[in-house]
């Protein structure tokens, strides 16, 4: 078996005085990049943002740019269009995706910022969170079947210093004429894996997923939808297509993300980096 391409992301949220620093670093065979947000903990508005390029095709020396266009942005749900507009001047296809990962770091860290944000208790924050996410995934589409709430899963509702960590990994390998895409996500709250077997044209011949750790046992039912992607050409599928095949609101958001990352990984490999 030959390893063709490795891609890794690390997302972290940590408190530094009165700011949340959410940092998303991508380190792959192809390049090394960081998107960094300094966010006010009460409003989740961006105070500073930086784009850092350490390794990239054609890069002579590292580049660090402050992104003034992002100042004042609420780094939370629904900010995607503003992100795209603010980052368009970079003309870098990786920028929006990596800053989106940094925003996810803010969203996940908010679990432990409920007091700063004006909620009287973790129960009040969880109700607000549930209202926003209702119907979005296996957990929030089956609340009547859920046996434990969010903070019961975590085990506590306060955390200091480091608030959140997430690592995602994509590995593309080849065994004779079979291409194998393996994706893993492990973070402070979840453990997810996906594996796709493809031919050289991107046709999915077999697929499977596993949820090792999740907020509730109902989440572990979501991998049943992974078989739906078999027989489809991964290169022709949009994220919306992948989400639909993997169950939509009855599926797992993180499995959808892993398969979407896998499609990007396979496309990137075709560029002969």
What tens-digit pLDDT sequence spans the chain (273 residues)?
Answer: 899 999 999 999 999 988 999 999 999 999 999 999 999 999 999 999 999 999 999 999 999 999 999 999 999 999 999 999 999 999 999 999 999 999 999 999 999 999 999 999 999 999 999 999 999 999 999 999 999 999 999 999 999 999 999 999 999 999 999 999 999 999 999 999 999 999 999 999 999 999 999 999 999 999 999 999 999 999 999 999 999 999 999 999 999 999 999 999 999 999 865
End-to-end CA distance of the chain: 19
Predicted model pTM = 0.96
Residue that finishes a domain, picked among 92, 111, 130: 111
In a domain, 123, yes or no: no
Same domain membership, residue 171 and residue 79: no
Whether 7 and 97 map to the same domain: the answer is yes
Residue 152 Cα distances to 104, 147, 173, 265, angstroms: 21, 10, 39, 35
Same domain, 6 and 107: yes
Residue 8 within a domain: yes
The reply to whether 215 falls in a domain is: yes
Domain span holding position 32: 2-111
Domains of the chain: total: 2
């Amino acid at each position: 078996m030959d390893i063709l391409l490795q891609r890794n992301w690390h997302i972290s949220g940590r408190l530094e005085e009165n700011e949340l620093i959410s940092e998303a670093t991508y380190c792959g065979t192809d390049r090394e990049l960081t998107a960094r947000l300094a966010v006010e903990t009460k409003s989740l508005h961006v105070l500073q943002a930086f784009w850092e390029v350490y390794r990239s095709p054609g890069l002579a020396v590292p580049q660090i740019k402050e992104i003034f266009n992002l100042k004042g942005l609420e780094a939370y749900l629904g900010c995607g269009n503003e992100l795209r507009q603010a980052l368009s001047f970079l003309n870098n296809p990786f920028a929006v995706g990596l800053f989106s990962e940094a925003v996810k770091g803010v969203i996940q860290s908010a679990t432990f910022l409920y007091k700063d944000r004006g909620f009287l208790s973790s129960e009040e924050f969880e109700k607000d969170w549930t209202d926003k996410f209702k119907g979005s995934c296996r957990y929030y589409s089956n609340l009547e079947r859920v046996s434990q709430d969010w903070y019961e899963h975590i085990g506590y509702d306060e955390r200091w210093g480091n608030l959140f960590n997430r690592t995602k990994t994509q590995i593309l390998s080849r065994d004779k004429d079979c291409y194998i895409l393996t994706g893993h996500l492990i973070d402070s709250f979840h453990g997810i894996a996906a594996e796709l077997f493809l031919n050289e044209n991107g046709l999915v011949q077999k697929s499977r997923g596993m949820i090792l750790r999740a907020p509730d046992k109902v989440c572990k039912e979501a991998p049943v939808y992974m078989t739906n992607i078999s027989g489809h050409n991964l290169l022709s599928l949009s994220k919306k297509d992948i989400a639909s095949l993997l169950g939509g609101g009855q599926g797992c958001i993180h499995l959808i993300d892993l398969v979407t990352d896998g499609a990007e990984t396979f496309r990137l490999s075709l560029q002969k980096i």
